Structure 1
Amino acid sequence: MSATTQSLPAASLLQLIWLASPALPVGGFSYSEGLEAAVDCAGVSTEEAAANWLSDQLHLSLARGDLAVIAQAIPAWRNADISRVKALNDWVVQTRETSEMRLQTEQMGRSLLDWLRNHNSISPAHLDVCAALPPTYPVAFALAASPLAAGVPDCLSAYAFGWAENMMQAALKSVPLGQSAGQRILARLAAEIPAAIAEAMALSDAERQAFSSMLAILSSQHETQYSRLFRS
């Protein structure tokens, strides 16, 4: 190991693993973020097609939207820049292109805030500010990560891997696929996460965006899909 390499403190590492866990009680398992509609309407019916779909979603949607927001929201929370936090939260709400996408980020944000109230890591003042927004999930996640002795890239890695695990599980249920296929998809996404994080951290406010036209169309179709497993 290089002498200049700094290890993340164990307590912060464990907190990041906790935040990335699909067992975190925020309801992430109940959403497919358009994947279920893609299976039904866009021919995502094989392991390769599901992997390609999720890879595109990672780079074209998550990196340019949620990850870019978190990269800016963590230092805003750390610096108590509440006006900046509010602006980022407003941006997330305004760029959710369907009602189910907006309901997802609002529900998961509220649930994460409720989880944070059971811990001592966040100041009551910041909890009150977050509740008043009300929080979207990326902004609530940034609050949860802000007190940790972890750099922004590590925090983004936790968020992105948690997303990847949830989406892999959604693929297993909706395509459907076996466990081995799911692990191959997760391995591909994990290998691509560092590049997505680098892209997210390089984006300015003017470059950040959440426009994904096909995803928005499929999400709209999912809202009236006859039979479905997921809430988005």
Structure 2
Amino acid sequence: MPPAALPAPTLLRLMWLASPALPVGGFSYSEGLEAAVDAGRVHDEASAAAWVLDQLKLALGRSELPLLAQAWAAWQQADLPRAAALNDWVRCTRESSEFRQQTEQMGRSLGEWLRQRAPDDERVAFLGRLNPAPTWPVAFALAALLASAPVREALLACAFGWAENMVQAALKAVPLGQSAGQRMLDQAVAAIEPVVDAALAMPDDTRQAFTPMLAIASAQHEAQYSRLFRS
């Protein structure tokens, strides 16, 4: 029997959360991609697609997506200490100043967006009190839960939103044309579902943040002479 379709309001809210138009600033980050372009590691459609797919599988799939699933469960159970511990893990595993600033800025912005829509929800208030700031995957988990989204769909939406932002960054930084961007996004879409399913099955003790080349690219970007993006 096929799974039940999401109710239209839930589906639309998930699309809203995944949209680059969500006012959290995701479009202003390349997550090290711009530095890889500057160094010549990414120079055409094929190398840009490989960079994005590798980052999806090795970074998001092993770190942010499994953590998002665990944060979703913590918010659902109103386990605020668990949500705070997961938030600390994100901050402590960001490998560069830029990556930490990104997750905190986007998390803070999404927290403010949620506060305007659910001002009486204690979980939203707690998110805003996380010190020094809520992080993006922890905030996104709460936003998806408040949209009544199941956890798997929440991860799919988050991964697609990330992929769309990264493809748009590649179009500007390489640069590439719109058709190349659509081909890259098609590859990302095909890869997202198995990455999400693996993330959902990942327990705490196998979640990890270890992407040395990405961390080096981000650190190099901090001192890059000319740049379009904040990371």
- Fold conserved between structures, TM > 0.5: yes
Query: Which residue of the partner structure matches residue 186 of structure 2?
Result: 187
1:172–1:182 CA contact under 8 A, matched in 2: yes
Query: Which residue of the partner structure matches residue 168 of structure 2?
Result: 169
1:132 equivalent among 125, 129, 134: 129
Q: CA deviation at 1:83?
A: 1.1
Give the counterpart letter for 1:48 in structure 2: A
Deviations 1:161-185 (A, max 9, x none): 0000000000000000000000000
Query: Which residue of the partner structure matches residue 78 of structure 1?
Result: 76
Query: Which residue of the partner structure matches residue 89 of structure 2?
Result: 91
Q: TM-score, normalised by structure 2?
A: 0.97
Q: CA deviation at 1:123?
A: 4.1
Q: CA deviation at 1:75?
A: 1.1
Q: C-alpha distance in 2, partners of 1:27/1:200?
A: 25
Q: C-alpha distance in 2, partners of 1:62/1:158?
A: 13
Structural RMSD (CA): 1.1
Q: C-alpha distance in 2, partners of 1:84/1:105?
A: 18
SS in 1 for 2:206: coil
Q: CA deviation at 1:127?
A: 1.7
Q: CA deviation at 1:149?
A: 3.0
Q: TM-score, normalised by structure 1?
A: 0.96
Q: C-alpha distance in 2, partners of 1:42/1:220?
A: 16
Give the counterpart letter for 1:131 in structure 2: G
1:146 and 2:153 correspond: no
1:78–1:147 CA contact under 8 A, matched in 2: no
Give the counterpart letter for 1:38 in structure 2: A
Query: Which residue of the partner structure matches residue 103 of structure 1?
Result: 101
Q: What are the equivalent positions in structure 2 for 1:1-232 lying under 5 Å apart?
A: 2=1, 4-120=2-118, 123-133=120-130, 134-232=133-231
Q: C-alpha distance in 1, partners of 2:40/2:151?
A: 35
Q: C-alpha distance in 2, partners of 1:124/1:192?
A: 35
Q: Percent of aligned positions with the same letter in both sequences? A: 60
Q: C-alpha distance in 1, partners of 2:40/2:192?
A: 25
SS in 2 for 1:118: helix
Q: CA deviation at 1:5?
A: 2.5
Give the counterpart letter for 2:124 in structure 1: L
Q: C-alpha distance in 2, partners of 1:86/1:149?
A: 21
Give the counterpart letter for 2:129 in structure 1: A
Q: What stretches of structure 1 of length at least 5 have no aligned partner? A: none
